[in-house]
Chain A
Amino acid sequence: MLAHPFGRLRLQALPFWDMLQHPSKGVVINGIIATGAALMVVLGGIVTVALISRYRLWRVLWSQWLTSPDHKKIGVMYVVLAFVMLIRALLEALLMRAQQAYGLGGGFLTPNHFAQLFSTHGTIMIFFMAMPFLTGIINYVMPLQIGARDVSFPVLNSISLALTAAGAALVMISLVLGTFSTGGWLGYPPYTEASFSPGVGPDYWIWALTLSSLGSTFTGINFAVTIYKKRAPGMTLMRLPLFTWTALCTSILMIFAMPPLTVATAQLALDRYLGFHFFTNDLGGNMMHFANMFWLFGHPEVYILILPAFGVYSETISTFSGKALFGYRSLVVATMAIGVLSFTVWLHHFFTMGQGADLNAAFGVATMLIGIPTGVKIYDWMWTMFRGRIRFSVPMIYAMGFMLLFVLGGLSGVLLADPVIDYQVHNSVFLVAHFHNVAVPGLLFGMIAAYHFWFPKAFGFRLDERGGKVSAVCWILGFMLAFFPLYALGLMGMPRRTVAYTEPAYVPLETVAFFGAILVVAALCALGVQLWVSIKHRHANRVFVGDPWDGRSLEWSISAPPPEYNFAAIPVVTDRDAFTVMKESGAAYTAAVPFEDIEVPRNSALGPVLGAAGFAIAFGLVWHIWWMVIIFGTIVITAMIVRGFARNTSRVVTAEEVRRQHQHWMDAVARAEPIARDKETTSANEGLAMPIDTGAEQ
């Protein structure tokens, strides 16, 4: 320990070391790309620190954000994390598409570099883009939708965020020090065992996933308990907004599906660190254990990702069609049916790994069954739109793109569910096309639609409509160009994860896919420009009254942004679409509510402390810096014990303060001009919706 205070961390870990030692052409190109990426991380870090210091925001960052137990702020931080990680993973995707477009006979990336790219791209997109994004949106929206003042365990919520961020930071630092895993996002042993991958790559992967899966387990528990225990009076289960139903189902899946992942990665770690034999080739190891456990997590994970997006589409389609959701009950049943079935299909991820025809057939049939509840949902959304007064706002454009493309992706999934077909296209880019075809229009479009839909609620002003539309069209077209060619390439026999190929017939389709990737990156840039423009014009687009889209559920019944305690008085719910009912009966915007002192949780440093210590432990484990592991392990245990001794963990917002803030909002409501639906995207929208029938007469 003393001989090597930094474990196996040496100068060779720097990304430019190799190219200085062996300056051949290929090594230099890869060295420059890797160094550039590392520089982006380092510079990004320096610029962030400099800006925070320049504007003296450290105190604000610490006391208003990092230590805040407020579900709304935690939600926003999750979404920011998701966007940062999306930028990196999307640039990696662009690099991979460029490599394959020039991949006839070689290309410019080494196989090792390419393998790191697809491994980090997948790992980030699933664990550090998709999961934080949906967790952030649920965090922000769900407590508001059920009429609660916070989640059940606010400090645990902050810990979940910190653990997820620590995992993301670990993936980011792998760009600067050492290399990431080359074993794909699912890290199959025995390839990822110490005998074949002795470096730090798989260790980075293991500990990043461990941190994030711990965070997700706690998140699932927190959300499920909140939905079961903190609903406003009258908010029965069958009156829950559909987004909250999907949040509940996703939380239940997190509770049950994350442990198999934790066990699989922990056993892989035991193999690598202590010489156990779970998945090794010799002494009784069996990698099928890993495959089974990974996919016992991995398949429910697919639905953890997609269900909240289904919830978002349910809300936006209903709102922008000006109609109650069609077939609410069937949507609830379909959601829960998908939740149950998601645990019965994991084996379809490895039909070709030798379990025999009967078992494959059973899992193939189970897989096809999932198509039924999903199909029910698509029809429900179409019937919701039928005879509605549809507005083609940004979330609606995403919803249309989703319905069209997701059905295609679902159908290619039904093809893959047939083991006979699966044998033909397994491990080809046909599969890559399939899962991107469900993940991108399903999850990612859904999350971006949610971002547009709820952004005004969170920040008090609308996002620029035109920028949003440009971006949406670029996403949809870019996606089609990037992935439809991959179906054809897969049928032509191109294996996935191929760095280079010798078949000239691939080139035209690969080129089209490359242009698609450029268009997708342009879509992301458009989102950035849109955010910039929107912040610049924020004063013209304020919607403080809080209901810019004529919303239907309780989150629209309060100011935008909402006060920290959400509701001045907890609402009483009498039916589905609670806020629409209030507006119709004249119960919305009541001035005289019974004000009372409201208890809110105090800030806690426990989240940031555990996150930082978790990062340090993981970093120490990756590089075998054992003193670091011991010191920060002790800090984790001490911090939890000290937290147990904390009393006085809440503070009171006085009734007078609540009354003052409520009055301020009521004044704004009285001043605001009701807005008709056809003018909701203009500056005239102050967040007070005109009843829908009056709006239509104009």
Chain B
Amino acid sequence: MSDGIAKHPGLNLGPGHGKDDAAAEGLMFGFWVFMMSDAILFGMVFATYLTSLSATAGGPGASQLYDLTSTFVETLLLLASSFTFGMASLAMKYRHSERRLVAWLLVTLLLGLAFIGVELHDFASMAAKGGVPTRSGFLSAFFDLVPLHGLHVAAGCLWMIALLGQLVRYGVDTKAKLGIMRLALFWHFLDIIWIAIFSVVYLPGCMHAIG
């Protein structure tokens, strides 16, 4: 980092934030470690999915169920939300007005909720085509992996609402800053997971349909 030695990977508050920056060191490192653990969780569920691709048990498969247009929209929504969260982090780091910070967070929240909405719509249309988790091992694995990511996003939205409440109540104090920084990491992490889901689950599934 140009403004001093980074205390932890990712966006640092920087020495200008004084004791808040110091307080971030252990907490942010701890959150990185937590995400490593969470990544293993996703790794296991990805492995289950990849080893269950042929376990359709005569039921509908990827090519009948996935809708690439819709998942592409989801991808854009989530990537955009990561961008807006990045803007929120910068607003916090460079001490722009609190209103700007809250506005970027609200835009992120809306994009996140829109993502969840489109995803739920996807699941419903899959179910309408007989794609329910009780149908086969393959669908069980799908509905373990993709909704697990969705649940994480939902938890992130809830967390963001709670943080917005803290901002309203206390302003941008130490604890609110550290909360936003951790949620930011979590949010970008979920973006990466989604890119993996899009590349490993949806793209090959739909390619197969075209091929």
Contacts and interface: CB of A to CB of B under 8 A. Distances in A.
Nearest to B133: A276
Question: Is the contact region of chain A dominated by helix, strand, or loop, or is it mixed?
Answer: helix
A263 B136 CA distance: 18
Contacts of A262: 41
Given A152-B26, A286-B51, A644-B163, A276 B41 contact: no
Contact of B133 (A153, A274, A286): A274
Given A221-B30, A278-B137, A644-B179, A258 B37 contact: yes
B179 A221 contact: no
Interface stretch (B9-17, B69-77, B98-106, B140-148): B140-148
B30 A225 contact: yes
Interface in B126-168: 133-141, 143-144, 158, 162-163, 165-166
B63 interface: no
Contacts of B56: 284
Given A276-B134, A277-B137, A284-B52, A645 B37 contact: no
A645 B165 contact: yes
A286 B137 contact: yes
Nearest to A290: B48
B55 interface: yes
Contacts of A270: 133, 140, 144
B37 A256 contact: yes
A280 B34 CA distance: 32
B113 interface: no
Contacts of A644: 162-163, 166, 175, 179
A259 interface: yes
Contacts of A652: none
B40 A260 contact: yes
Contact of B143 (A153, A256, A264, A276): A276
A647 B137 contact: no
Interface string A132-161: 000000000000000000001100000000
Contacts of B34: 221
Interface range for B? 35 or more
B208 interface: no
A343 to B, nearest CB: 11
Interface in A263-321: 263-264, 267, 270-271, 274-278, 280, 282-286, 289, 293, 296
Which of B26, B40, B43, B179 is the most central at the interface, judged by chain A CB atoms within 10 Å of its CB?
A: B40
Contact of B40 (A230, A259, A275, A647): A259
A662 to B, nearest CB: 26
B186 interface: no
Contacts of A647: 170, 173, 175
Contact of B137 (A153, A229, A284): A284
A190 to B, nearest CB: 12
Contact of B48 (A258, A267, A645): A267
Contacts of B33: 221, 224-225, 255
A592 interface: no
Contacts of B25: 229
A228 interface: yes
B29 interface: yes
B45 interface: yes
A259 B44 contact: yes
A276 B140 contact: yes
A285 B57 CA distance: 9
A641 interface: yes
A293 B44 contact: yes
Contacts of A228: 29
Contacts of A259: 37-38, 40-41, 43-44
A46 interface: no
A637 interface: yes
Nearest to A642: B162
Contacts of A225: 26, 29-30, 33
Contacts of A152: 26, 30
B144 A284 contact: no
A256 B42 CA distance: 12
A217 interface: yes
B36 interface: yes
Interface in A215-242: 217, 220-222, 224-225, 228-230
Interface residues of A, number: 41
A185 to B, nearest CB: 20
A229 B144 contact: no
Contacts of B43: 259
B146 to A, nearest CB: 14
A267 B29 contact: no
Question: Is the contact region of chain B dominated by helix, strand, or loop, or is it mixed?
Answer: helix
A163 to B, nearest CB: 15
Contact of B135 (A222, A271, A283, A296): A283
B30 to A, nearest CB: 4
Contacts of A641: 158, 162, 165
B37 A255 contact: yes
Given A225-B26, A644-B179, A277 B136 contact: yes
Given A217-B37, A644-B163, A644-B179, A263 B48 contact: yes
A502 to B, nearest CB: 40
A486 B45 CA distance: 39
A263 B141 CA distance: 11
A49 B34 CA distance: 37
A582 to B, nearest CB: 27
Nearest to A222: B30
B133 to A, nearest CB: 5
Contacts of B169: 645
Contacts of B166: 644-645
Given A228-B29, A259-B38, A644-B166, A277 B134 contact: yes
A276 B36 contact: no
Nearest to B135: A283
Contacts of A224: 33
A225 B25 CA distance: 10
B40 A274 contact: no
A492 B44 CA distance: 39
A680 to B, nearest CB: 38
Interface string A196-227: 00000000000000000000010011101100
Contacts of A258: 37
B140 to A, nearest CB: 4
A210 to B, nearest CB: 13
Contacts of A275: 133-134
Contacts of B38: 259
Contacts of B52: 284, 286, 289
B45 to A, nearest CB: 6
A286 B136 CA distance: 11
B175 to A, nearest CB: 6
Nearest to A289: B48
B37 A285 contact: no
A644 B182 CA distance: 13
B175 A284 contact: no
B37 to A, nearest CB: 5
B162 A221 contact: no
Interface in B153-210: 158, 162-163, 165-166, 169-170, 173, 175, 179
12 contacts: A152-B26, A220-B37, A221-B34, A259-B38, A267-B48, A271-B140, A277-B137, A284-B57, A284-B140, A286-B52, A289-B48, A644-B175
Given A228-B29, A229-B25, A284-B136, 10 more contacts: A152-B26, A217-B37, A258-B37, A263-B48, A264-B44, A276-B140, A277-B135, A284-B52, A285-B137, A286-B52
Sorted nearest first, the 3 A-B pairs with minimum C-beta distance are A284-B137, A284-B55, A276-B140
Interface of B: 25-26, 29-30, 33-34, 36-38, 40-41, 43-45, 48, 51-52, 55-57, 59, 133-141, 143-144, 158, 162-163, 165-166, 169-170, 173, 175, 179
Interface of A: 152-153, 217, 220-222, 224-225, 228-230, 255-256, 258-260, 262-264, 267, 270-271, 274-278, 280, 282-286, 289, 293, 296, 637, 641, 644-645, 647
